[in-house]
Chain A
Amino acid sequence: MVTTMGNRLKSLYLALLNVHYGWSAGKYYYFKKKQRIWEPLVLVVALAPAAVMAVWFLWSMTDKLFLAGLAYGEPHLSLAYGALMVAVLTLFFGFFYVLSAFYFSSDLEILVPLPFKSWEILVAKLGVVLTGQYVINTLLLLPIWIRYGLLAGVGVDYVLSALVVFLTLPILPLVLASLFTVVLMRFTNLSRHKDRLTLIGGILFVVVVLGFQLWMQNNIGDGDPEAFLEQVLIQTDGLVRIVGRVFPTSVWAAQAMAYSYSAQGWLRLFYLVLASAVGLGVLYLLGERVFLQGVVAGLEGSKQGASRAVDWKSPQVRPAFWTLVNTEIRLFVRDPGFALNGLIGYILLPVMAILPLFAKNLSENPFEFLTQQEWPPLLLIGGVALFFMVMTSMSMIPTTTFSREGKYLWIIRSMPLSIQEIIFTRVVASQIVNTLGCLLGLLPVAHLFGWSVFTIIIGTLLGVFLATALACLLIILDLSRPMLDWVNPIKAVKSNLNAIVGLFGSMLLTFGLGALFYWNFQAGQLWLVPLELLLACAVLAFLGLLLLSRFAPKQWQSIEGGI
């Protein structure tokens, strides 16, 4: 029986969605094997505070924008902002999602030989990206829309209009990102430089984050929310006009919902649907002509060029310990997905800390305490040590060390090494990177703020002890449930619950110790800080050694994946 085109497209979309979100794998583990059932619960508990805070922020922002907009005769300002925020975020991140899904995913080698039309693969993949975007948009838009609805006293027409807007809003930004990507990949064959592209994308992301931070520093004003809002509103007119030019869809979306009771609103909704349909049509035509050619060129481009000469006749023999440390570091830094996610914090955090120095209103900025107050050296020692400790979990090197091995884990498991030896090499590798990374960020900050060399040395030493003891625990955490079933290596770090749990735990520890140091400061007993650091270090080390001798060997033998 000939499968109809619609069924084929639906099957392809559902299969890609399943693989992307790991539904079958989840069902297999959670329901059939009845393993790791607690994972989703932990994930919900870990992410819930962030989600609650985001919803609260958007809810109160809508409140303020509604009232302020009312004064200017534009109460639907919050709707315009919501739509603009979604459009810009979708366009910016959409470019990376699309690039990754369309050209860098490993399923292309399976899909290309199958009898699919070029546009079918393109549309199914776009569908997967779009589905993910709908989930994100639900979190971003619902609080704004519900709050606006309550404030404006809207009717059923608003709900209907909102439903259509919700479905169409991310289409055009994603289509624009897709068009740009498809054309770029067809004529430049950037797949050949996949690593470089990932690196550039990551750096671009950092620049945008830092730029936004600096803009906020310079535009928030004197910290008064009312004044900030006024400033926003002064800029709003221009901003909306610019947005209207670049992204008319977000203005149409806001007007469609705000005037859903009138013909004007439904006309705007029609514009929005029409624009999305036209965009999809253009993508279909272009996809049919050039998409597969770009993919095939990329698959060809993944093979290397000329071979590099190597001298194996006089091999460099090293102690196994250093070779294992070296290999762990090499494998981490050579993968841009790992390196960017793990190492970016070492640069981002110190830069964000000293950014206020370049802001206009230094005296009123929230980092004033760092720049203008003389802090006792013992407290600084505590701060530096905590920085080392928190960064080791933020780097995700220890918390994903076995997960990153994935299907390569058989190599290390079939080697004549005890798990204690392996963990020891992993701790050392993570601490070499952590110490270098922390010093890279810390030394310029210390120089700028004039911290003494002695403070830095003692803080670093205590920090290295503390981070080493913590790293051992974090590695054992990853050993307890390594995430080995991944196709895209980025998933091993970005979608890894061990990384989240590890970060959450070390944050709690950092806040706990930080609070203790502050209490010491208030009580005039700062001499306790180094002792407390050493005590924390001893407790962590004891726990690590206990788990290393009792739990780790059994767990190492019982792992069933990784080949």
Chain B
Amino acid sequence: MLQLHDVSKKYKGADRFAVRDLDLQVRSGEIFGFLGPNGAGKTTTIKMIVGLLQADRGRIVVNGHDLAKDPVKAKHSIGFVPDNPNLYGRLTGIEYLNLIGDVFGVDGPTRARRLDYYLEMFQLTRAAGDLVQSYSHGMQQKLALTGALLHAPALFILDEPMVGLDPKSAHLFKEIMREHVDKGNTVFFSTHILEVAEKLCDRVGIINQGQLIACGTMDELRQSSQKTDLSLERLFLELTEDGDNHGK
């Protein structure tokens, strides 16, 4: 579903790569957790996958479409929610959702069914007619999630999706992610909450200083570290500390 081949990115004026030679394969029907300390390159990688940043080197393939050569088809397969979803404040919630629905070509009955489902689930039905600028941060997050799921994307990409959600919404959202992959779709998300990643993800990738330092299922990661009883948190700390030391 998602392939990254030797992807690198260096920001203008920066003295080191934000992401370097990243190789990653995410399969259809899995929840993939993308972990790493602050500034490791998670958001940069996600922005490159969704076409908000251009990779300096390498190839990104989404659902069989090369992002550089055919960005429109690649983006058709993606539903994206950034870590801080700034939405047009002067549109109403329903106007924003209809914009997404029209652009992604979601037909009327399907749109009505999905809106009914997600708006009810996220308790946004009463606020859907209000301007987005009157929403709280959590409500905007839920509206962005609804928008990203409206066209049932084959690849659902989220940057820190749990931030700003109340416990009930976070719980619902985890169920949505599982439901989404059960239909054969893929979820790729970054998070700092290792407990969520450990419980929810089929596979995780750990990035540090722009490079992928570990990737696989929890069992595979434990085996590679030769410590079978290690929690993801302990594993994460060991791996990223190693990376930091190597970096020094």
Partner of B86 from A304, A334, A335, A407 at Cβ < 8 Å: A407
Q: Are the C-beta atoms of B112 and A32 separated by less than 8 Å? A: no
Q: Are the C-beta atoms of A414 and B90 separated by less than 8 Å? A: no
Q: Are the C-beta atoms of B103 and A315 separated by less than 8 Å? A: no
B33 at the interface (CB under 8 A from A): no
- Chain B 67-96, CB-CB to A under 8 Å as 1, else 0, gives 010011111101010101011101111110
Q: Are the C-beta atoms of B99 and A414 separated by less than 8 Å? A: no
In angstroms, how far is the closest chain B Cβ from the Cβ of A559?
8
- Chain B 13-26, CB-CB to A under 8 Å as 1, else 0, gives 10000000000000
- B84: chain A residues within 8 A (beta carbon): 563
Given known contacts A330-B90, A411-B87, A310 and B129 CB-to-CB distance under 8 angstroms? yes
A188 at the interface (CB under 8 A from B): no
Q: Are the C-beta atoms of A315 and B112 separated by less than 8 Å? A: yes
Give A315's nearest chain B residue, CB to CB. B111
- B78: chain A residues within 8 A (beta carbon): 414
Those of B44-88 within 8 Å (CB) of chain A: 47, 50-54, 68, 71-76, 78, 80, 82, 84, 86-88
Give A309's nearest chain B residue, CB to CB. B129
In angstroms, how far is the closest chain B Cβ from the Cβ of A305?
9
Bound form: Cα–Cα A69–B9 in Å? 69
Q: Are the C-beta atoms of B87 and A334 separated by less than 8 Å? A: no
Q: Are the C-beta atoms of B107 and A317 separated by less than 8 Å? A: yes
Chain A interface category by residue count: 35 or more
B152 at the interface (CB under 8 A from A): no
Q: Are the C-beta atoms of A416 and B73 separated by less than 8 Å? A: yes
Q: Are the C-beta atoms of B134 and A303 separated by less than 8 Å? A: yes
B6 at the interface (CB under 8 A from A): no
Q: Are the C-beta atoms of A563 and B75 separated by less than 8 Å? A: no
- B76: chain A residues within 8 A (beta carbon): 416
Q: Are the C-beta atoms of B80 and A312 separated by less than 8 Å? A: no
B154 at the interface (CB under 8 A from A): no
- A331: chain B residues within 8 A (beta carbon): 88, 90-91
- B126: chain A residues within 8 A (beta carbon): 307
- B11: chain A residues within 8 A (beta carbon): 560
Bound form: Cα–Cα A309–B53 in Å? 38
Secondary structure at the A interface, as helix, strand, loop or mixed, is loop
Q: Are the C-beta atoms of B97 and A327 separated by less than 8 Å? A: no
Bound form: Cα–Cα A413–B94 in Å? 20
A418 at the interface (CB under 8 A from B): yes
- A318: chain B residues within 8 A (beta carbon): 98, 102
B163 at the interface (CB under 8 A from A): no
- A407: chain B residues within 8 A (beta carbon): 86
Partner of B54 from A303, A310, A317, A557 at Cβ < 8 Å: A557
B173 at the interface (CB under 8 A from A): no
Taking A310-B92, A563-B82 as given, write out 14 further A-B residue pairs in contact, using a Cβ cutoff of 8 Å, ordered by the A residue number.
A32-B13, A308-B129, A310-B129, A312-B97, A312-B116, A313-B115, A316-B98, A317-B98, A323-B102, A327-B95, A410-B52, A411-B87, A414-B52, A415-B103
Ranked nearest first, the 5 interchain pairs of A and B with the lowest CB-CB distance are A310-B129, A308-B129, A304-B134, A323-B102, A416-B75
B→A interface (CB under 8 Å) = 11-13, 47, 50-54, 68, 71-76, 78, 80, 82, 84, 86-88, 90-95, 97-108, 111-112, 115-116, 119, 125-131, 134
A→B interface (CB under 8 Å) = 32-35, 303-304, 307-310, 312-320, 323-324, 327, 330-331, 334-335, 407-408, 410-411, 413-418, 557-558, 560, 562-563
